Structure 1
Amino acid sequence: MELWEMAAVLLAGLAAGTINAVVGSGTLITFPTLLAFGVPPVTANVSNTIGLVPGSVSGAVGYRKELAGQRSRVVRLATASLVGGAVGAVLLLALPSEAFSAIVPALILLGLVLVVFQPRISAWVAKRHESLGGLPEHGAIWVWPAVLLCGVYGGYFGAAQGVLLMAVLGIGIDDALQRLNGVKNVLAAVANGISGLIYAIVADVDWRIVALIGIGAVIGGQLGASWGRKLPATGLRVFIVVVGVAALTAFLLD
């Protein structure tokens, strides 16, 4: 890999870390970049996943103010991301890529629809639980398995994982969108972390790529957290939809 290619991978990691902290879908920047430089798809995927882990942690740290008071919620939901991320990594190593590629656009589209209609759906869910004293701290009963499925997807590929997580959390948990975005960053870090650990042990990893993406993603995570935390709920929702549409378009044109 030449010097200019290394610089491009570093910048791609920075951009991905920034986007992941705000929404997710940073993989749509780094993964195609690696493919364009001739990195084999599986090696690109596993190296990219490991490289983005420090950026996810950086984004979560950047949202530490919003995470205050959510320890119990985060720990409970993190177990779902942990299991899901491990399952997703195993599926990537065991199944052909075509097995999931067909359903990815449908998942992204579903996430976008849920994000757009999240206020109305959330109000309906809250009303349904009102007779029971409101939604529990950890959210509706289906939130944990839904987060687990997002973890499976995140461990397998991960592009637009943040869009799906924000749709699930925004509808199933009664809390401010920015606070839930902080939770999203932690859950994405857990899913990427466990899948990255599995890849590091059994898969073909290019550690030079990991280092370049990791350095860029850490810087981007802080930039994204600083900028994303200033967005109002409506602005954040619009940004999620824009990124999600870009992700959907990229998959459909691939």
Structure 2
Amino acid sequence: MSVWQWLFLLVAGVGGGLTGSIAGMASLVSYPALLATGLPPVTANVTNSVALITNALGAASASRVELTGQKSRVLLLVPAAAVGGVIGAVLLLTTPDGVFEKVVPFLIGAAALAILVQRPPRELAVEGAVAQAHRPRRHTWGLAAATCAVGVYGGYFGAAAGVLMLALLLLATGETVPRGNALRNVVVGSANGIAALGYAVFADIAWWSALPLAIGLFVGGRLGPRVVRRVNGTVLRRVIAVVGLGLALQLGFQAFG
């Protein structure tokens, strides 16, 4: 790996970390950056999953204030997401490379559309708070099952898993956006982390590519919660979604061309 490729992945990691905090789609930046350095799709995906661990660590370490009082949710949802991550990792490792390459454009396109049509998180938070006030009891096991399902997707590929998880948590818990976002980072990070451990043992990881990307993702993850607290991310999410659609088309032409 050249010095320029190392620096490129470092910068891409910072951008991916920020994108993950704003739109829950860090892989929109980090995954194509790995492809641009010449890695094949499956190797790029598993390398990306390993590097994303530091993004979750950075975001969680910068969100301790927002995580206060959410210990019971963390203890319930992290194992559920981890189980989903294991299932997703097994699916990826048993999927032929050619099939994965053809599936990825559709996953990225669907993720971008999810961001584009998603209602603003603040609206979801208000709706969740109203619903929570009128619920006769907490539907904790239903939330755990839904978290596991999102974890399966996160373990397999993960683009916009954070979008789905944030919407789920805001509607189910009635928390504010910063607190829901902090919980999202921990839960999605656990699904990705357990999948990454499996990839580290059973898959071919490009470790020299993972290192600069991981450093950048950690920095971006640390900065991200501060951005979420201060910036209305609606316009930024739409820009990210449009870029994601363009990337999906590009990868689609490469896979089917």
TM-score tier by shorter-chain length is 0.7 to 0.9
Give the 3 Å change call, closer, same or farther, for CA 30–92 of structure 1 in structure 2: same
1:182 aligned partner: 182
Deviates more, 1:244-253 or 1:202-211: 244-253
Point out where structure 1 has 5 or more consecutive residues left out of the alignment: none
1:39 aligned partner: 39
Alignment of 1:238-249 (within 5 A): 239-249=236-246
Point out where structure 2 has 5 or more consecutive residues left out of the alignment: 252-257
| CA drift at 1:204 | 0.4
| CA drift at 1:214 | 1.1
Matches of 1:146 and 1:169 in 2, distance apart?
10
Q: Structure 1, residues 2-58: CA drift from partner, whole Å, max 9, x if none?
A: 111111011111111222233321111111111122111111111111011111111
Alignment of 1:91 onto 2:91: yes
| CA drift at 1:174 | 1.1
| CA drift at 1:106 | 3.8
1:169 aligned partner: 169
1:158 aligned partner: 158
Matches of 1:44 and 1:56 in 2, distance apart?
19
Counterpart contact for 1:63–1:229, Cα < 8 Å: no
Q: Structure 1, residues 166-223: CA drift from partner, whole Å, max 9, x if none?
A: 1211222211111100001101210110010000000001111111111111111111
Counterpart contact for 2:129–2:175, Cα < 8 Å: no
Matches of 1:131 and 1:17 in 2, distance apart?
35
TM-score, length-scaled by structure 1: 0.85
Deviates more, 1:214-223 or 1:13-22: 13-22
2:224 aligned partner: 224
1:115 aligned partner: 119
Percent of pairs identical after alignment? Answer: 36
1:71 aligned partner: 71
Deviates more, 1:42-51 or 1:111-120: 111-120
Matches of 2:128 and 2:217 in 1, distance apart?
37
Give the 3 Å change call, closer, same or farther, for CA 143–2 of structure 1 in structure 2: same
Matches of 1:120 and 1:31 in 2, distance apart?
29
Matches of 2:175 and 2:75 in 1, distance apart?
17
Give the 3 Å change call, closer, same or farther, for CA 16–124 of structure 1 in structure 2: closer
Matches of 1:163 and 1:240 in 2, distance apart?
10
Give the 3 Å change call, closer, same or farther, for CA 172–122 of structure 1 in structure 2: farther
| CA drift at 1:247 | 2.7
Q: Which amino acid aligns with 1:130?
A: H
Counterpart contact for 1:74–1:183, Cα < 8 Å: yes
Give the 3 Å change call, closer, same or farther, for CA 62–51 of structure 1 in structure 2: same
Give the 3 Å change call, closer, same or farther, for CA 26–128 of structure 1 in structure 2: closer
2:109 aligned partner: 105
Deviates more, 1:48-57 or 1:242-251: 242-251
Matches of 1:154 and 1:50 in 2, distance apart?
12
Q: Structure 1, residues 73-108: CA drift from partner, whole Å, max 9, x if none?
A: 122111221011111111111123145754553455
Matches of 1:64 and 1:223 in 2, distance apart?
14
**Helix, strand or coil at the partner of 1:229:** helix
| CA drift at 1:141 | 5.3
1:130 aligned partner: 134
TM-score, length-scaled by structure 2: 0.85
2:30 aligned partner: 30
Number of aligned pairs? Answer: 247
Counterpart contact for 2:27–2:158, Cα < 8 Å: yes
